[in-house]
Chain A
């Protein structure tokens, strides 16, 4: 390990907390040979959040991504001999929480992590110092434990040095003064010890990350926030036990607190207090801070209720006459607008990466995954939920970060419904249809900042019209029907009978222009791109491992002009993916039209009559065949249309300049009056219509961990041209699939009588009471759930190993502590509704 400050390096990692150490170590392991790891602070504890975290790892979360990252991190801490397996216990004080813990068991099973419910008696046995009078039960996670991240950092640095054969330089006490950017790419890091040239730089500075990113003119949306924590000791009860921890870490979920043994002390941490956000510029330097920059003094008044609650649940230990509060801090940690980490390339500066807002429990695996991403373009664990580009160009302002962090802080340990919507900083992105939709009492959901109607209260009258069809599909349970309305189902049925208008979907719309555009896109997509002008191509986009980066539609507008349309949630990451792959010197310009064009879908049996009545052009089947695109003039509005449908109906997606969107809406609404055209929400577009058609959704069915053969998206075959992921894709087509994406239906919503229940997604699929696992170790779980009103069934999508992927096969799904029989309806991608796609093609 060298101490001399180098003048250049392959890679500079800024920040030597657990994240930076892990990243440096894994980069070395992945083959980077010349790495500079620097930090403003001293080692081993440079003064960031790593130095004061409570260091416990509870692996089970409702997010698969975070659960898998934590599990992998535990493996790494174990491998470095810095992990103590204590088990973890989440206790419930309320019945509502017990239901949530049942959901925890369900998520544990779905993500392959052990976990079970405990009775009060079992809890008493396991943790004798808890006041069980106030507890209804608990969730036990046997894999949980505690780690030593500072020691792990030392091990990682030593290993990185070994793997690089001395190629790691560690430079503590080094302040970054500036990041140099040349021609849109990172070129050097300027510090108080000198300037180091590098074309690859990772920001792993925890809550200081935004400050460092700003030096390169880019944004990392996080804010420092207080997590209050105290340590009480010496507690005589613990004197009989050796080692750091002999009892499970306890999370007192309803009070948003935890209590965990640490030697003779009990650490008491809280997230229940009012959100206390810090401005990064107000955090004192290492020299100015009495303890450490991230350990300001406890805000006493905010901690009062926490003390009350802690004394209630562990009275004997905390009332030990010898014990006092020996340590108390407002521990600072990073909070992001949605609570997830901020990982990946900062697309406005080539070579600059973010590795921020990572908890101790995920850090080793995040370092590994980001190192894989940096060195080979994809990670073993799909990181789409943590991709920093999900906030690109809308969610980086200080105000947004502050509002969402304020709101999100209160959700930590909370019971968060999978469809729960954010309330602050809204509306932020609105289409020109917004005011009209608001008049129609749209219930707006948000996606990538866009306001999208989920359903319209103004369509309530349809409930009566379709009462018969809806029988048995309404959801009597409050949880199942939260953030949902039966109006969605009625809107769906109306669309299938008449015609509906859907929009704006918040798509990412990117035009690629230039002589090399065709060749470039050909090299990015599984589908053949060099098609006739006017054709559209729906295609998977793969990483080199053959897993999904995205799935999207590319239309050819001209010989050297293509339009790529992708889902709003993936718009930022897709933009980064395509942008980073454009070869140097290639004649390709990417133009982001996402905020320039609005999108209005018009679909249903009467769609052609409606559109024809206002279009200048002939839109007959012959003149405007399916899966093609052309310019159309709708009334006064110059639009561009694609004839395709994500809901399986005849019709078009109309694209118009935002400024003319309002007029477009009015024209269609008026023209459709005779056909009772209704605006319908994303509930139809994204769920009911989609599931009846078996259409896949990125981030749900489509991830890096699955390939197109498994997803049933191999209809393109293998084209001649090279493209990213071709080799792996070809191999996937040849070998037998370890799993096949299937559509299942719920056979009985109340097998034991009582309230019928409706799954929401994320539930494990069982055979004979055991969760199904494929030969690659992937659990079968519900990737998407929703009701298909036309087929009259509640539909679930799930990957199943070949022995289960047979139509008619009966299995079970676990939901809220119960098992429900399900039937495999379709193995593969054939639609359940209109399998021949007659509606789209007529």
Chain B
């Protein structure tokens, strides 16, 4: 089985997000980069499925040259191969990204992948649509928001949590599945795997994308308001109990 995990390099921010002056980007000076926890689960799932069923796990991203850092994380987590659709620093719209990914996926492997995993949404822009668009372009079925996935004999059973229960989908492979944190517990890469990943070659491919009208256009970013209400330590040990009870009863009104 061939499994693909698509990921996105995003700034590793704290509680407070600082924007550049033109409000087009997150100010990343002093910050590192990462991928979303959903995507870590996608990589883990790809590797785990291959460990169960045999085959190979492939990690793909569209991004600047520095995004090879995130691809190497995937390799260190035991993915077999990694490919970078190399762009300049500019952020691509979800539509162009999906175009380029679909095109890239076609070019990556003649036989195609059996399972294409995405994070449910990216950690920064959260447009919730790249995976759906890729599935549409490739003509594959797509299920989103998945926290439980089983693959058997060319079929995927995917479960999505809903209020009060869960929805269960059965889709034929090849399929696109977007996953959420909680699907699995992503492994910590071993030191040796990390070292080997650093030495592994990452294929860099020039992306091709059609730019069509009607796509989403970013006007500007707005930083979410941070909650800077102070935390108060009420006390330590049993001494704090009366005050906690009082707050639960009167302010939160749950008791």
Is the pairing of A and B real?
yes
Q: Which residues of A contact B (CB under 8 A)?
A: 42, 173, 230, 232, 268, 282-290, 296-297, 300-301, 304, 307-308, 310-311, 318-321, 323-326
Query: Do B198 and A297 have beta carbons less than 8 Å apart?
Result: no
Which residues of B in the span 149-170 have a Cβ within 8 Å of any Cβ on A?
none
B16: min CB distance to chain A, Å:
4
Given contacts A283-B30, A297-B32, A321-B190, 4 further A-B pairs with CB under 8 A are: A232-B190, A288-B30, A296-B32, A307-B198
A285 to B230, CA, bound (A): 16
A296 to B33, CA, bound (A): 10
Complex CA distance for A301 and B194, rounded to whole angstroms: 11
Q: Are A300 and B198 in contact (CB under 8 A)?
A: yes
* Residues on the B chain within 8 Å of A324, using CB: 187-191
Q: Closest residue to A322 on the B side, CB-wise?
A: B190
| Interface of chain B residues 231 through 247 with chain A (CB within 8 A) | 231
Contact of A300 among B17, B69, B190, B228 (CB under 8 A): B69
Q: For the complex, what is the distance from the CA of A321 to the CA of B228, rounded to whole Å?
A: 42
Interface centre among B13, B31, B191 (most CB of A within 10 A): B191
A326 CB contacts on chain B under 8 angstroms: 188
Q: B15 on the interface (CB 8 Å rule)? A: yes
Question: Are the C-beta atoms of A300 and B72 separated by less than 8 Å?
Answer: yes
- In the complex, how many angstroms separate the beta carbon of B191 from the nearest chain A beta carbon? 5
The answer to whether B195 and A325 have CB atoms under 8 Å apart is: no
Q: How far is the CB of A265 from chain B (nearest CB, A)?
A: 11
**Please, could you name 7 A-B residue pairs with CB atoms under 8 Å apart, sorted by A?**
A42-B231, A288-B13, A288-B15, A288-B16, A289-B14, A323-B188, A324-B191
Q: Does B50 contact A (CB under 8 A)?
A: no
* CA of A288 to CA of B14, assembled, Å: 4
In contact, A319 and B195 (Cβ under 8 angstroms): no
Residues of B within 8 A of A (CB-CB), count: 28
Given contacts A301-B198, A311-B192, contact A287 B15 (CB under 8 A): yes
The answer to whether the Cβ of B12 comes within 8 Å of any Cβ in the partner chain is yes
Main secondary structure of the interface of B (DSSP, over half): loop
* CA–CA, A287 and B230, complex, Å: 12
Contact A284 B31 (CB under 8 A): yes
Instruction: Find out whether the CB atom of A325 lies under 8 angstroms from the CB atom of B194.
Output: yes
B29 within 8 A of A: yes
B209 at the interface (CB under 8 A from A): no
B198 to chain A, nearest CB (A): 5
Known: A290-B12, A290-B14, A296-B32. A319 touches B189 (CB 8 A): no
Give the Cβ gap from B247 to chain A, nearest Cβ, in Å.
18
Q: A232 contacts which chain B residues (CB < 8 A)?
A: 190-191
* A300-B72, A307-B195, A318-B192 known; A282-B15 Cβ under 8 A: no
Q: Which residues of chain A come closer than 8 Å to B17, judged between CB atoms?
A: 288
The answer to whether A325 and B191 touch across the interface, beta carbons within 8 angstroms, is yes
Say yes or no: is B138 at the interface (Cβ < 8 Å to chain A): no
- Of A42, A282, A284, A301, chain B has the most CB atoms within 10 Å of the CB of A284
* Known contacts A307-B195, A308-B195, A318-B192, A285 near B16 by CB under 8 Å: yes
Question: Do residues A304 and B198 form an inter-chain contact, with CB atoms below 8 A?
Answer: yes
Query: What are the residues of chain A within 8 A of B16 when measuring CB–CB?
Result: 285, 287-288
Q: From A230, A296, A301, give the contact of B191 (CB < 8 A).
A: A230
Distance in angstroms between the alpha carbons of A282 and B33 in the assembled complex: 16
B residues contacting A by CB (< 8 A) are 12-18, 29-34, 69, 72, 187-192, 194-195, 198, 226, 228, 230-231
Bound complex: CA A301 to CA B191 (Å): 13
Least Cβ–Cβ distance between A409 and chain B, in angstroms:
20
Q: How far is the CA of A285 from the CA of B17 in the complex (A)?
A: 11
Question: Which residues does chain A contribute within 8 Å of B72, judged by CB atoms?
Answer: 300
Count A-B pairs with CB separation below 8 Å: 79
* Neighbouring A residues of B226 by C-beta, 8 Å: 287
Assembled-state Cα–Cα distance A319/B228 (Å): 43
Contacts A296-B30, A308-B195 given; does A325 touch B189 at CB 8 Å: yes
Q: Which residues of A contact B195 (CB under 8 A)?
A: 304, 307-308, 311
**B18, B190, B230: which contacts A288 (Cβ < 8 A)?**
B18
A556 to B228, CA, bound (A): 64
Q: Is the CB of B192 within 8 A of A287?
A: no
Asked if residues B13 and A319 are in contact (CB atoms below 8 Å), the reply is: no
Q: Are B190 and A282 in contact (CB under 8 A)?
A: no
The 5 nearest A-B residue pairs measured at CB: A324-B188, A297-B32, A287-B16, A307-B195, A282-B30
Nearest B residue to A315 by beta-carbon distance? Answer: B192
Residue of A nearest to B186 (CB): A324
Q: Chain B contacts of A290 at CB under 8 A?
A: 12-14, 31-32, 34
B66 to chain A, nearest CB (A): 11
Residues of A within 8 A of B30 (CB): 282-284, 288, 296
A307 nearest in chain B by CB position: B195
A325 proximity list for chain B (CB < 8 A): 188-191, 194
B14/A173 in contact, CB under 8 A: no
Contacts of A310 in B (CB 8 A): 191
Q: How far is the CB of A10 from chain B (nearest CB, A)?
A: 26
Task: Tell me, rounded to whole Å, the shortest Cβ–Cβ distance linking A262 to chain B.
Answer: 15
Docked Cα-Cα span, A284 to B29, in Å, equals 8
B residues near A311, Cβ cutoff 8 Å: 191-192, 195
C-alpha gap A114/B131 in the complex (Å): 64
Please give, as numbers and ranges, the residues of chain B lying within 8 Å of A173 by CB-CB distance: 230
CA distance A296 to B29 in the complex (A): 11
Cα–Cα distance between A296 and B32 once the two chains are bound (Å)? 7
Residues from chain A with a CB closer than 8 A to the CB of B228 are 287
Q: Which residue of B lies closest to A292 (CB)?
A: B14
Query: Looking across the interface, which residue of chain A has its beta carbon closest to that of B231?
Result: A42
Which residues of chain A have C-beta atoms less than 8 A from B15's C-beta?
Answer: 287-288
Closest A residue to B31 by beta carbon equals A284
Given the known A-B contacts A232-B191, A310-B191, A324-B188, are A288 and B198 also in contact in the complex, defined by CB atoms under 8 Å?
Answer: no
Q: Smallest CB-CB separation from B198: which chain A residue?
A: A304
Given contacts A283-B30, A284-B30, A324-B187, contact A307 B14 (CB under 8 A): no
Residue of B15, B18, B33, B195 with most partner-chain A CB within 10 A = B195
Q: How far is the CA of A319 from the CA of B33 in the complex (A)?
A: 27
B188 / chain A contacts, CB cutoff of 8 Å: 323-326
Asked if residues A297 and B18 are in contact (CB atoms below 8 Å), the reply is: no
Question: Across the interface, do A284 and B191 meet the contact criterion of CB distance under 8 Å?
Answer: no
Distance in Å: Cβ of B32 to nearest Cβ of chain A: 3
Give Cα distance in the complex from A296 to B188, angstroms.
18
Given A297-B34, A300-B198: A319 in contact with B190 (beta carbons within 8 A): yes
Q: Chain A's nearest CB lies how many Å from the CB of B210?
A: 35
Instruction: List the A side residues contacting B230 at CB < 8 Å.
Output: 173
- Chain B residue numbers with a CB within 8 Å of A300 are 69, 72, 194, 198
Kindly state the separation between the CA atoms of A287 and B224 in the bound complex, as whole angstroms: 13
Closest to B226 in A: A287
Complexed CA–CA distance, A230 and B18 (Å): 28
A270 to chain B, nearest CB (A): 12
CA distance A45 to B60 in the complex (A): 38
Q: A287-B14, A304-B198 are in contact. Are A319 and B32 (CB under 8 A)?
A: no
B190 CB to nearest chain A CB (Å): 5
Bound together, the chains give a CA A363 to CA B131 distance in angstroms of 53
**Taking the nearest CB of chain A, how far is it from the CB of B201, in angstroms?**
15
* Chain B residues with CB under 8 A of A321: 190
Closest partner residue, chain B, to A279 (CB atom): B30
Are B31 and A288 within 8 A (Cβ)? yes
- CA–CA, A285 and B32, complex, Å: 14
Output the nearest chain B residue to A287 by Cβ-Cβ distance.
Answer: B16
Contact across chains for A297 and B12 when beta carbons are under 8 A apart:
yes
B29 to A, closest residue via Cβ: A282
Note all chain A residues with C-beta closer than 8 A to B14.
Answer: 284, 286-290
Using Cβ atoms and an 8 Å threshold, which residues of chain A touch B198?
Answer: 300-301, 304, 307
- Residues from chain A with Cβ under 8 Å of B29 in the complex: 282
Q: How far is the CA of A301 from the CA of B198 in the complex (A)?
A: 8
Contact B191–A307 (Cβ < 8 Å): yes
Q: Cα distance A230–B188 when bound, in Å?
A: 12
* A277 CB → nearest B CB, Å: 13
Say yes or no: B69 contacts A323, CB within 8 Å.
Answer: no
A463 CB, min distance to chain B CBs, angstroms: 53
Q: A232, A282, A320, A325 — which one has the most chain B CB atoms within 10 A of its CB? A: A325
| Nearest CB of chain B from residue A255's CB, rounded to whole Å | 14
